[in-house]
Every structure is written in C-alpha cells, then in structure tokens.
Chains A and B, each alone.
Chain A
Amino acid sequence: MDGGTDVERAGSRAAALVEQVFALVDETRAAVLAAAAPRRAAGLRRVDLARLRPLITGHLERYARLLAGTGVVVAPGVLVDAPAWLEWWRRTPGGDVVFLDVDLDPDSDDYYDFTDAPWFTGPERTGERAVVGPYVDHGGTDEYVVTLTAPLVVDGAFLGVVGADLRLRELERVLGPVLAGLAGPAALVNGDGRVMVSTTPRWLAGSLLPATSLRALRISRCAGLPWRVAAAAPA
C-alpha cells in the first residue's frame, strides 16, 4: 500500500504538522489544568499562570520560526485578580521572546476584545479544537497567522483556551516543498477556499479559490482539519 494518492499524502503532511503543534498546546493545557485543580476553592490567579512560563517559552524555542506565539487566554471572570488575562508569549520575527501585552481595558481605544474572536468562541461554544485563519491579527500580533486553539474546561466550566499562532509564511516554507512534489499546480486551502500555500502565482496566498474552480481539481481533505489540498490534473 503506497499511502494513498499524492494529494492525500500532501494532506496528511499538513495534518501531521498541525498535530505536532496541537501536541504542544495539549502540554500547556495539561499544565493549566494541573494548576487549576488545587486552586478551585481559592480561585485561580495570574501568578498560577506565570508558573507556566518556562513551559510556554520552551515551546517557542523548540519551534522557533513556525510559532509566532503560544499560551493561555483566560475567559473574563475566571481569574480572581484580573478581569481577563492572556498568558501569551510571542517570538518576534527578530527572535526575541516577549510577553504579548494587550489592552484589556474595555474603555480604552485599543481594547483587545478577544471574546468574539472565532478562535475563542469556537472552543467556547463547541468544546472542540479550532483552526482559524489565515487572518491579520491586528491589535494582537499584527501578523498574518493561522491560530490553533483548544478549550480549557474544568468540571464542565469553560475557563478559556490554550493555543498557538502559526505564521503563514512559515507554513509556506514547510509545506511549499510538499506541494511542489505534486504533479501540476497545487494549493493548500482553508475551509473557506482561501489559499494558504500555493505552487503557482495564479493562486496567490490570501485569495479565495471559487467553489467552481475547486470542483475541477483533485482534492484531499486534511484529517481533522477544515483544510484541503487541491491540485490540477496534470496536462
């Protein structure tokens, strides 16, 4: 058995990359749940999340270019010493590891309201992982990213999400060569048909492939993801 068609194999590679990142996210989640469990009566504090910093920044070191950032986003009203909180660390394009400092004051001009972001509301409503984007994360990292998140639930209560931002340009770097191995023009597209990685200038990253075009292509879904690999049949 040769492991499926070429598009299926490319789709598996994309799914495998995402699973690697979710494995890191799951490590962080386990650590948050371990910190939350004994605090149930007294309540969770920022300092409890601050203890996760070595783990979180360690992930950034391990996946230096792929991860634009990773950490924990706490739902409003969960922490006893802050109305909302992000224990989120970024690795800047220059290589510095910095704390993502966003404005959490609802009355401020630059208020970063994450509570209606799909990467937050998805896990909140469905209890499932979310894979969101690519999108411009203005007010947060200001980069073009794909965000992976998983819900944090303790005793049925939603505490927030853990997640990671992948730089789209790094997805291009890793998966571009995979797609280049396919016969004919090929692209990795998200659930809306938006091109993420492509081997042809005809399908620019960020643009939408219409459903009619997709129907004419060989498609493989990426397991567990709303993504697809699409390739034109060889001439």
Chain B
Amino acid sequence: MSQVPATARHAVFAPLEGGGRTDAVVRRLGEAVSLGLLADGEQLPAESDLSASLGVSTVTLREALATLREQGVVETRRGRRGGSFVRSPADPSTRRLRERLRETTPDELRDLGDVHRAVAGTAALLAAERAGPEEARRLAQHAGRLSTATSAARRRRADGRFHVEVAAAAQSPRLTRQEMELQAEVGELLWLPAGGALDAAEGGRQHAEIAAAIGRGDGPTARTLAEEHVLHGVEHLVALHLRLVRPG
C-alpha cells in the first residue's frame, strides 16, 4: 500500500479557511479518514492542540467530534490513556477506491465529467419536455432519497438511481444506459465510505431542484442544474485526488 505523503497528513490539521464552522471540521476530518490520511486506531491530537491548529474554538471542535462519533468515524475514550481515536477499518474495497482515486488524474476526472455533464444535462432537458405528471412524481420521490440514505452504499445507490430515473423520464434507453455506465464508474468514488464524502444534504437539495424544474417543464433550467450538479461532483473528486497526492 502506498505511503501517505507527509504533507498530505500535515494538511489534515492545517487551519481551516473561512472561519471555524462545525461542519467544516467534520468534513475535513471525515475526508481525511475516508482518504486514509488518518489511519485506523490513530490518536487525534489533544482537543486544545487540535482546535488551535485548525483555527477553531474548542466548543466548535467538541461539536464536530460529537458528530464524528455519531458517524462512527471517531471514538473517544476517557481516562489516563484517553483521547479521540480514528475508527476506519479499511476494508479492501475502500483501499481499492483510494488507489483508484489516487491514480486517476484531474484531467481524466474532468474528461469523465464532461461526458457525464453532456448525458445528465441532455437527459434533464428531455425529461422536462417529455415527463408526464406520473414521471415527475417519481422523480420527486427519488430526489428525496439521497439526504435520508443511511450509509455510503445507500447514498451511492440513491444518487445513481435518481440520475437513471431522469434519463428514463427522458424516454431514452441510450441515455439511460450511458448514465448507468457513468454511475458505475464514478458513483463509488463520489460516495467513499467512512465519512467525508459529498455532502448528501446538498446533493439531495440539488436533486430536488432538478426534479422541480423537470416537473415545471423548464428544460433549460433543468439542464443547467443537472450540469452544475455533475460539475460539483467532479470538483469534489479533483480536490480529493489532489489531497491524496500532495508531493511528499
């Protein structure tokens, strides 16, 4: 297994940009665990040190740690040898995904994203033209599933399913097959397990907006929203890749 570059690890605890919000801390640490930058069983710095290096208040840090404990990403032990410890038993598939993400260059991610934008954008445009009330109702229902999904695998399924349903609502078997293939390639990277994946609530909100535009019959807006949604995912993957490969 490749060594994590020292600067990649160092960046985990560097000051957060834009002020210290709890969810930013959750995301930073959660992603680090997803990416394997923090190892299973590793002890996090003491709360005072960690909050200082991240540039957040101890209150914010404790809130974030509480969330990470709820997510099962961190566990806190009290007592003499107490502290916060990373929980990330890296199963083979997660290791494989990290490797894949490390080895896929930003340009390849961008190119994959270009095709995905074309497919998802056109599918949304056509769905807006061709979906009847029943299809629109189905889409709204599927849009609601991402933010309520309870595991990385379920989030991945909900995300992919929504996009496939949009292509089906467009009445196009070819676009539907394309979308299924793209989801197979990119879906598992977008929804890396152990926290720090795409923000499911934000993704669900974007799905709902796309579904609403389709329901209104507003093709151009549906297309733009779908393209932006895909672009958001591409940017996220590029950012993750860059964090993994910071020169040592």
A residues sitting closer than 8 Å to B (CB atoms) are 109, 118, 134-136, 138, 142-144, 192-194, 206-208
Whether A206 pairs with B171 at a CB distance below 8 angstroms is yes
Separation of A138 and B171 alpha carbons in the complex (Å): 11
Distance (Å) between the CB of B220 and the closest chain A CB?
17
Distance (Å) between the CB of A121 and the closest chain B CB?
12
Surface stretch bound by A, among B49-57, B99-107, B128-136 = B128-136
Whether A134 pairs with B164 at a CB distance below 8 angstroms is no
When the two chains form the complex, which single residue of B134, B164, B167, B176 contacts A192, counting CB atoms closer than 8 Å?
B134
When the two chains form the complex, which single residue of B134, B153, B157, B167 contacts A136, counting CB atoms closer than 8 Å?
B167
9 residue pairs, one from A and one from B, having the closest CB atoms = A206-B171, A136-B168, A192-B132, A144-B173, A136-B176, A136-B173, A138-B176, A109-B157, A138-B168
CB 8 Å contact bits of B161-177 with A (1 = contact, 0 = none): 00010011001110011
Separation of A198 and B244 alpha carbons in the complex (Å): 54
Whether A109 pairs with B156 at a CB distance below 8 angstroms is yes
Please, which residues of chain B bring their CB within 8 A of the CB of A206? 130, 171-172
Decide yes or no whether B109 CB sits under 8 A from chain A: no
Q: Smallest CB-CB separation from B164: which chain A residue?
A: A138
Separation of A80 and B156 alpha carbons in the complex (Å): 33
When the two chains form the complex, which single residue of B132, B164, B168 contacts A194, counting CB atoms closer than 8 Å?
B132
Decide yes or no whether B97 CB sits under 8 A from chain A: no
B residues sitting closer than 8 Å to A (CB atoms) are 129-130, 132, 134, 153, 156-157, 164, 167-168, 171-173, 176-177, 180
Separation of A92 and B177 alpha carbons in the complex (Å): 16
Please, which residues of chain B bring their CB within 8 A of the CB of A136? 167-168, 171-173, 176
Distance (Å) between the CB of B60 and the closest chain A CB?
36
A-B contact count, CB below 8 Å? 41
Whether A144 pairs with B132 at a CB distance below 8 angstroms is no
Q: Smallest CB-CB separation from A190: which chain B residue?
A: B132
Please, which residues of chain B bring their CB within 8 A of the CB of A193? 132
- Chain B contact residues: over half helix, strand or loop, or mixed? helix
Please, which residues of chain B bring their CB within 8 A of the CB of A138? 164, 167-168, 176, 180
Query: In the complex where A135-B168, A138-B168 touch, is A207 in contact with B176 (Cβ < 8 A)?
Result: no
When the two chains form the complex, which single residue of B153, B156, B171 contacts A134, counting CB atoms closer than 8 Å?
B171
Q: A136-B173, A208-B130 are in contact. List 11 more A-B contacts (CB 8 A).
A: A136-B167, A136-B168, A138-B164, A138-B180, A142-B173, A142-B176, A144-B172, A194-B130, A194-B171, A206-B171, A207-B171
Distance (Å) between the CB of A210 and the closest chain B CB?
10
Separation of A206 and B135 alpha carbons in the complex (Å): 13
Please, which residues of chain A bring their CB within 8 A of the CB of B132? 192-194, 208
Please, which residues of chain B bring their CB within 8 A of the CB of A109? 153, 156-157
From A109, A134, A194, A208, residue with most partner B Cβ within 10 Å? A109
Distance (Å) between the CB of B167 and the closest chain A CB?
7
Whether B130 pairs with A143 at a CB distance below 8 angstroms is no
What are 10 residue pairs bridging A and B, where the CB atoms are less than 8 Å apart in the complex? A109-B157, A134-B171, A136-B167, A136-B171, A136-B176, A192-B132, A192-B134, A206-B171, A207-B130, A208-B132
Q: Smallest CB-CB separation from A109: which chain B residue?
A: B157
From B129, B132, B134, B171, residue with most partner A Cβ within 10 Å? B171
Separation of A109 and B156 alpha carbons in the complex (Å): 9
From A135, A138, A143, A194, residue with most partner B Cβ within 10 Å? A138
Q: Smallest CB-CB separation from A110: which chain B residue?
A: B157
Separation of A51 and B177 alpha carbons in the complex (Å): 33
Distance (Å) between the CB of A156 and the closest chain B CB?
29
Separation of A33 and B173 alpha carbons in the complex (Å): 34
When the two chains form the complex, which single residue of A142, A144, A207 contacts B129, counting CB atoms closer than 8 Å?
A207
Query: In the complex where A194-B132, A207-B129, A207-B130 touch, is A143 in contact with B173 (Cβ < 8 A)?
Result: yes
Please, which residues of chain B bring their CB within 8 A of the CB of A208? 129-130, 132
Please, which residues of chain B bring their CB within 8 A of the CB of A134? 171
Q: Smallest CB-CB separation from A107: which chain B residue?
A: B153
Separation of A128 and B220 alpha carbons in the complex (Å): 40
Please, which residues of chain A bring their CB within 8 A of the CB of B168? 135-136, 138
Q: Smallest CB-CB separation from B217: which chain A residue?
A: A208
Please, which residues of chain A bring their CB within 8 A of the CB of B134? 118, 192
Distance (Å) between the CB of B222 and the closest chain A CB?
15
When the two chains form the complex, which single residue of B153, B156, B157, B177 contacts A142, counting CB atoms closer than 8 Å?
B177
